[in-house]
Amino acid sequence: MRTPLRRAMGALVQRLPAAPSEQSRRASRFTISCEARGKLGARRGTVRGSDVYGLTAVSLAHGALLCADPAYDRSGALAPAQAFEPAAFLAALADFGVSIDIEPLPASADR
């Protein structure tokens, strides 16, 4: 940044905490809503929880354990939903305050 404000901005950034306090993390809440559409129809899902800092560490550790299982047969650059079965992965995070709600497919799609 090449402005006269560079020094002032640098000083402000240095005064910020490295991360939110544990109390702030526990008090925070998130909701992720999504909709998927495919040949069988559309469905919606919602994931809710708190403490995204702590949840990130738990998610990474859980994913590493799944990948270390000798039965794990996927490889390459994968999106999380490709690397792991999404509903099972999220359900494993229930002990850490994560809840999921997935609408079932429409009855006409159950053929």
Which domain, by its residues, includes 54?
Answer: 19-109
Classify 97 in phi/psi space as left (phi over 0), alpha (psi -120 to 50) or beta. Answer: left
**What is the structure's pLDDT at 44?**
92
Helical (H) or strand (E) element with 49:
strand 41-50
Query: Does residue 82 fall inside a structural domain?
Result: yes
Query: Does residue 51 fall inside a structural domain?
Result: yes
Q: What pLDDT, in 10s, does the model give residues 42-85?
A: 889 999 999 888 899 899 999 999 999 999 999 999 999 899 99
Query: Does residue 31 fall inside a structural domain?
Result: yes
Give the count of domains, the chain: 1
Query: Does residue 63 fall inside a structural domain?
Result: yes
